[in-house]
Amino acid sequence: MHATESPVPAVSQQESPVYVRLSLAAAMTLGFTRGWFFRNARLGCINLLLTYSGGCRANCAFCGLASEKRAGTRPRSFIRVPWKTYHTETVIDAVRSAPAHVHRVCISMVTHPKCREDVINLCGQISKRTTMDISLLVSPSVLHPGDLKRMKAAGAERIGVAIDAATPLLFEQLRGRTVHGPHSWDRYWNCYAESLDVFGKGMAGVHLICGLGETEKEMVMAMYQARSMGGYTHLFSFFPEKHSAMENVSPPALSHYRRIQLARWVIDQDLTHPKAMEFDNRERIRDFGISETSLQKIVWSGEPFRTSGCPGKDGAVACNRPYGNEKPGDNIRNFPFQPEKNDLEKVWQDLFDYSGPDHDCKGGNGK
Ligand code: SF4
């Protein structure tokens, strides 16, 4: 993704609901920022982020937004890219005339007391004034009873719950009391369960970040929990956000991430079960619990290695977040398009590479 200049001026230090932040990819797609996507990727979902002076009230160790609080209001990166602030009205107008391949808008909450009313109101505005499907990425720590129902009434179609860390211990250490954060593992999973009740099976998903210190088996168990409850996993590869508490931690090794991507796919397609899988003494996946023929077919389809996220009206993933996990280049982690033969040849090699550590010691393509 290469951006140059901004014909629509971004503003800073302005608050939602009058202002929202846009991912760089969304700003490029709506024509606010000039640029081009590596390998002609096309974004199918406009990702918006609510914004408040003083930033997000949580303190997650891996998140660039937590550092905004420490640094005053200076905007930082989030999911690897900058998010500039724009007038909400200007954004809604632009969404109304977005390119035809854009099918969805996602509004991400942050942890702030004003956020719950603002997300519901903004969702209602976008629902009334555009034809887009709407996802809300909610912050369970600030929701009140009944809020999910109000979100649905306002026009939201799907819910995302960013659980992010795959085990209760990692959650506590990276998002909970250890880092003086307000989040709780149980509250997040309960919110996911309630989202599935309110929005229906298959209409909510969890975000999980691979590479926060969990083993492959632990990630498999978290993804299976999400699936067995009735939804899906939207998978991210950890990227060390500058100025975050984890800025010096390396991304997961590509081989580790490829195995988790494949495991996610076969779990979410109900093709396997953790009991059918085999793990080695470092809890790395050695057998996915499917036949060799099926495994070959699935890998060479390329589907497991594409970005996982909420779909568009055509059923394909709309929220494909181009280069949200790595710099554009040879080692794309979440492919925002169909991978080509030479991409998959490399994927195949990485999948069965057990020679290295779990983290990319060279800093991978992430730094
Ligand atoms: S996967 Fe869904 S909930 Fe998550 S950011 Fe994308 S559109 Fe939003």
The residue extents of the domains of the chain are: 2-351
* Domain 2-351: assigned CATH number: 3.20.20.70
CB 342 within 8 A of CB 99: no
Which DSSP letter does residue 319 get?
Answer: -
Closest C-alpha to ligand 1, atom 3: 160
Closest C-alpha to ligand 1, atom 6: 319
Measured from CB, residues less than 6 Å from any atom of ligand 1 are 45, 47, 104, 106, 135, 137, 160, 207, 234, 309-310, 319
Closest C-alpha to ligand 1, atom 4: 160
Question: Helices in 146-274 by DSSP H: which ranges?
Answer: 147-153, 168-175, 185-199, 216-228, 254-268
User: Which residue in the block uniquely carries the two structure tokens 């929005």?
Assistant: 199
- Which pLDDT score is estimated for 186? 98
CB 257 within 8 A of CB 235: no
- Which pLDDT score is estimated for 366? 38
Q: Rounded CA gap, 81 and 325, in Å? A: 9
Point out the ligand 1 atom lying closest to the alpha carbon of residue 137. Answer: 3
pTM metric for this prediction: 0.92
- Phi–psi pair at 192, nearest 5 degrees: -65, -45
Residues 6+ apart with CB under 8 A from 199: 148, 152, 156, 157, 158, 159
Ligand 1 centroid to residue 47 C-alpha, Å:
8
Closest C-alpha to ligand 1, atom 2: 310
User: In a structure prediction context, what are the per-residue pLDDT tens digits for the chain, which is 367 residues long?
Assistant: 555 544 454 544 689 999 999 999 999 999 999 888 888 889 999 999 999 988 899 999 999 887 555 554 445 566 566 789 999 999 999 999 999 999 999 999 999 999 999 999 999 999 999 999 999 999 999 999 999 999 999 999 999 999 999 999 999 999 999 999 999 999 999 999 999 999 999 999 999 999 999 999 999 999 999 999 999 999 999 999 888 899 999 999 999 999 999 999 999 999 999 999 999 999 999 999 999 999 999 999 999 999 999 999 999 999 999 888 878 887 899 999 999 999 999 999 999 999 977 776 544 433 3
- Which pLDDT score is estimated for 327? 80
Chain centroid offset of residue 85 CA = 20
Ligand 1 centroid to residue 322 C-alpha, Å:
13
Element (DSSP H or E) covering residue 285: strand 285-287
